[in-house]
Amino acid sequence: MKYFKPLKVLQETFDCINNIKFSPDATKIVSSLDDGTITIWDKKQEKIHMLRGHRYRINSAQFSFDGTLIVSCSVDKTLRLWDVKSYTEIMQLEGHLSYVTNAQFSSDGKTIVSGSNDQTIRLWDAKVGQEIKVIEAHSKGVTNVQFSIDDSKVISSSYDKTIGIWDVRAGKRVKELRGHREYVVKACFSPCGYYVLSCSWDKTIRIWDLRSGKVLQKLVGHSAGITDLNFFPDGQTIVSCSIDKTIRLWDVRFGTEIQKLSGHSDGVTAADISPDGGTIVSSSLDKTVRLWGSL
């Protein structure tokens, strides 16, 4: 079990930061800003690079699994692909009818999944930018989408308070999870693939058994809506963050809070974990990015 301490304020911006992600090798951190800018902090060069192209707020930006590309999505209804080496835009993906909330590469880098307020999930060919499949997914907007470990399924969360699990090849829903009392902000698969983790504006985190669809643990502690959560690489610990300005660590097995991290002066919008599990990066409405290191 790891405990964390503040390391430093990594970045201060002139606008709110909506999302934050490590690169696969943890040498870079990408953040998504309200003003339509993507920033990449390069740890080796101690330098910040700016990517501009989106016209409005960026909801998410994430690296491909090999770290060579970034996919971003925006209120401008588009997804964009960026080359990390040259920091240039490669292509623009259009098709969604409302703002795009999240996008992610498959593990082999060949496919991109995106979710949107237009209630659909879309699959894209990452090489040519062509739309492969449209899934009419939810009765309200999709808040987040994530691939399973083997890329055979996609999990989605929605403003309709449900979680959907979808067969990628068939484009069909194979399971629906219900239980949250407010909209579901995010849902993701556990590293082992047997469990689902979700967070909601109802201030709770839930751990679900994927096979039975039943809730195994309900984690309560945040005093406001939860904005992000992730499993640690070993699957034994969860990190979450909230509008209550805190980041919290949880024990998966017992469903108990391990540690509360305070330091942000406004709501925390996202928290990500380095691949080795030794560093947490967080973003906030206070316009800062912060690093937290294990003790």
* 3-state percent helix, strand, coil for the chain, nearest multiple of 5: 0, 60, 40
Note the pLDDT of residue 11.
74
Name the 3-class secondary structure at 175.
Answer: strand
pLDDT tens across 200-257, in order? 999 999 999 999 999 999 999 999 999 999 999 999 999 999 999 999 999 999 999 9
Q: Give the contacts of 154 (CB within 8 A, at least 6 positions apart).
A: 113, 121, 145, 146, 147, 148, 165, 166, 168
| DSSP label at residue 258 | E
Burial (CB count <10 Å: 0-12, 13-18, 19+), residue 265: exposed
Q: Indicate the pairing of strand 17-22 with strand 4-12.
A: unpaired
Q: What angle do CA 89, 92, 94 make, to 5 degrees?
A: 165
Which distant-in-sequence residues (6+ apart) come within 8 Å of 80 by Cβ?
A: 53, 54, 71, 72, 73, 74, 89, 90, 91, 92, 93
Determine the Cα–Cα distance for residues 147 and 288; give it in Å rounded to an integer. 29
Residue type, 46: E
DSSP 151: S
> Any idea of the CA torsion for 68, 73, 74, 77, to the nearest 10 degrees?
130
Among the listed residues 272, 265, 235, the one whose alpha carbon sits nearest the alpha carbon of residue 250: 235
Give residue-wise pLDDT tens across range 54-99: 999 999 999 999 999 999 999 999 999 999 999 999 999 999 999 9
For residue 161, what is the DSSP state? S
Element spanning 193, H or E: none
- Flag whether pLDDT at 186 surpasses 90: yes
Output the 3-class SS for 266-293. Answer: CCEEEEEECCCCCEEEEEECCCEEEEEE
Model pLDDT for residues 258-289, shown as the tens digit of each residue: 999 999 999 999 999 999 999 999 999 999 99
Structural contact between residues 17 and 60, judged by C-beta atoms closer than 8 angstroms = no
Please give the domain boundaries of the chain with CATH numbers for all domains: 4-294 (2.130.10.10)
Instruction: Please tell me the predicted confidence (pLDDT) of residue 238.
Output: 98
* 133-183: pLDDT as tens digits: 999 999 999 999 999 999 999 999 999 999 999 999 999 999 999 999 999
Cβ(132)–Cβ(123) under 8 Å?
yes
pLDDT at position 127 over 90: yes
pTM, entire model: 0.95
